[in-house]
Chains A and B, each alone.
Chain A
Amino acid sequence: MADPATMPLIEVDNLGVRLNTSRGPAQAVRGVSFALKRGETLGLVGESGCGKSVTALSLMGLLPDSAVITGSIKLDGRELARLPDADYCSLRGNRISMIFQEPMTALNPMHTVGHQVAEPLRRHKKYSAAHARREAIALLDRVGLPDPARRIDAYPHQFSGGQRQRVTIAMALACEPDLLIADEPTTALDVTIQGQILDLIADLVEERGMSMILISHDLGVIAENVQRMMVMYGGTVVESGPTDEVFRRMGHPYTQGLFRARPKLGARKGTRLTTISGTVPELADLPVGCAFGERCPLVEDKCRVALPPMVEVGPAHVVRCVRTDVSMAANVGALSA
């Protein structure tokens, strides 16, 4: 228990988040639990409104004031849920950092990139302006920004999308955080640049022994970049396990549907994509039972009664479905092996 090497860095237990939306209170996250050791990587995958970003924001303490958090979030054993904002300020950007999807909105257009990269160093580490500037140049160099000593005084609009994302990564890394949360870090970028940014993040995670939570809607990005993954739908985790296990044997009808719906290279014209009928449910009026029930091809009466329990289907591989006997027989993941 006391051994820091085996103790989880971050431990989330039965996290629930209720948001006040224009359509009334919405349970954006329900019963999310996971633990992450130092150096481990976890992927969160799902579509818009599944609760993956809200989970990330609750770890960062960035939820709106009106949000109600239940359950617990522990960083090195210290409770973070319902922590006063003043205390959170000393963690954010210091021990937990986040990279956002859209680098142009994550950067302040009125400040130079050097100022923004140096800000966490000045604030958390109390570096002098000159020291922080030297450190910022080193960081920008590390994230692969060309000619950092000269470009440190440039403004965000003078950089390309990929370069801006490199700047936000440098900001996130400035204080050598223990946990890096990357929320769709490459969705706004071209596919060739996406590869470079993911390579850079992976190198830095390895080099600094950080833990990482990578959020993406792209199963391919998840497959290649994290050790473990959780698939979210309607605010709950519907499938979770080691990435290879999940891709080898997908258990939840939603994971399978998501996998089948992707257009694949080599699927020639004239073939049809297997769709998931209907649309993503509104969080404000989720069904009582399984959130995926309304769209599920295998739905039964018992699915609609209560939220299905997690069923273990492989080593550390769990699925929130009562019909895994049928869904697993379809052998969906193995198709691509």
Chain B
Amino acid sequence: MTAVPLLDVKDLQQRYTLRRESLFRPPGQVRALNGVSVQVAAGKSLGIVGESGSGKSTFARVVMALERPTAGQVSLLGRDLNRISPDELRRARRDIQMVFQDPYGSLDPRQTIARIVAEPLTVLDDADRTTFRARVAAVLKQVGLREADMDKYPHEFSGGQRQRIAIARALITQPKLIVADEPVSALDVSVQAQVLNLMQDLQEQFGLSYILISHDLAVVDYLCDEVAVMYLGRVVEQGRPEDLFERCAHPYTRALLDAIPRARPGGGRRRRGAQAIASQSAAAAGCPYVARCLLADQHCREVPPLLRRVGEGHLAACHKAEAVMALPQAAVEG
């Protein structure tokens, strides 16, 4: 690994102030991110999993420099994105592109595919129309579409093809990092597999890095070298997929794994424990997961656990990580 990681996120915090409800009390705050630190090396992929409200999408927006964080820093190739000048930031955006969840909402229905795909370039480069069209044609071919598709409109394409167009738009600036926020969750199963294979091929071909945000652990397992599990704006467990999914060390990761319905005969229904979602606004004293945790004791309620090493490249924020790892692990589909 090189000395400078492609992306280095240090102690990222993001708070949103709520509307004031009383004259005499300060307005409430949503703590969307509470000190997230991760690194992504060139050519590697990081998966972010968690439920809605865990801060996954806020994390994506801050990494893309679409929002300024309350505290902490996001460095791309050693440059802090929040300290460089607006002009430099605009040029740095060439290296980071984003693919969104909904391929129906993320493409302007009134623009041709050529204009949609070339848009990131027109912002960055000052080239003529022919050059742009040649670049668009090349990138469409890379994602498995035809050159003739250039002058069509989004409604002429299926969901899977639209997601390919969105990926083409992200690829056209030859980025080093693509942040994909639930890129396949709106697609049908058979089409989902095609898009996931494409993302893997493109990574091999161009040495891309991905930050893949998904609620589907299997999708993350398929595409990522490292996975971070988020809960209420914190990373509660991080490591290689095989560590997380075969020797998980946090009760929350375990709950996520247990909740996946398995497609196999004779499975029947498995009972799951009642789980309540905790609030993001309250700053509790102890472990944020304590209300849902089956193993919690007094110590967990008082002292927040820090992210600590529980194995080679495997971190977990749980006082009882060793006990969780010793539990029989959830059966993995083979």
Contact = CB atoms under 8 A, between A and B. Distances in A.
Contact of A275 (B161, B194, B246): B194
A224 B272 contact: no
Interface string A203-244: 000000000000001111111110000000000000000011
Contacts of A218: 261
B275 A224 contact: no
A265 B260 contact: yes
A272 interface: yes
A257 B262 contact: no
Contacts of B193: 261-263, 273-276
Contacts of A279: 158, 160-161, 191
Contacts of A337: 264-266
Contacts of B129: none
A161 interface: yes
A280 B222 contact: no
A331 interface: no
Nearest to B221: A265
B334 interface: yes
Given A221-B261, A265-B257, A267-B218, A258 B190 contact: yes
Nearest to B196: A273
A130 interface: no
Given A192-B256, A265-B217, A224 B270 contact: yes
A243 B188 contact: no
A263 B190 contact: no
A271 B219 CA distance: 12
Contacts of A248: 265-266
A244 B333 contact: no
Contacts of B191: 47, 279-280
B223 interface: yes
A196 interface: yes
A190 B193 CA distance: 21
A2 interface: no
Contacts of B334: 264, 266, 335-336
A333 interface: yes
Given A264-B333, A279-B191, A224 B262 contact: yes
A226 to B, nearest CB: 10
Interface string A102-144: 0000000000000000000000000000000000000000001
B189 A261 contact: yes
Most B C-beta atoms less than 10 A away, residue of A257, A265, A269, A274: A265
B260 A259 contact: no
A258 B265 contact: no
A268 B241 contact: yes
A265 B218 contact: yes
Contacts of B332: 265-266
B189 A47 contact: yes
Contacts of B259: 191-192, 194-195
B95 interface: no
Given A268-B241, A336-B333, A225 B189 contact: no
A263 B223 CA distance: 10
Interface string B280-298: 0000000000000000000
Contacts of B217: 265
Contacts of B36: none
B245 A273 contact: no
Contact of B262 (A194, A220, A258, A274): A220
A192 B275 contact: yes
A265 B245 contact: yes
B197 A223 contact: no
Nearest to B277: A160
A108 B45 CA distance: 42
A295 B194 CA distance: 13
Nearest to A161: B52
Interface residues of B, number: 55
Contacts of A333: 265
Contact of B196 (A194, A245, A263, A276): A263
Nearest to A48: B188
Contacts of B223: 269
A100 interface: no
B268 A224 contact: yes
A198 B221 CA distance: 25
A153 interface: no
Given A190-B215, A194-B259, A259-B263, A267 B222 contact: yes
A191 B260 contact: yes
Most buried by B among A193, A223, A269: A269
Contacts of A144: 274
A265 B333 contact: yes
B248 to A, nearest CB: 11
Contact of A244 (B219, B266, B272, B277): B266
A287 B76 CA distance: 51
A76 interface: no
A244 B265 CA distance: 4
A85 to B, nearest CB: 32
Given A192-B255, A202-B269, A280-B190, A247 B263 contact: yes
Interface centre among B159, B224, B225, B261, by most chain A C-beta atoms within 10 angstroms, is B261
B174 interface: no
B216 interface: yes
B80 interface: no
A43 B272 CA distance: 21
B242 interface: yes
A271 B258 CA distance: 23
A135 B140 CA distance: 58
A190 B52 contact: yes
Given A223-B263, A247-B263, A266 B221 contact: yes
B272 A264 contact: no
Nearest to B264: A336
B265 A243 contact: yes
Interface of B: 45, 51-52, 158-161, 188-194, 196-197, 200, 215-219, 221-225, 241-242, 245-246, 255-272, 274-275, 277, 332-334
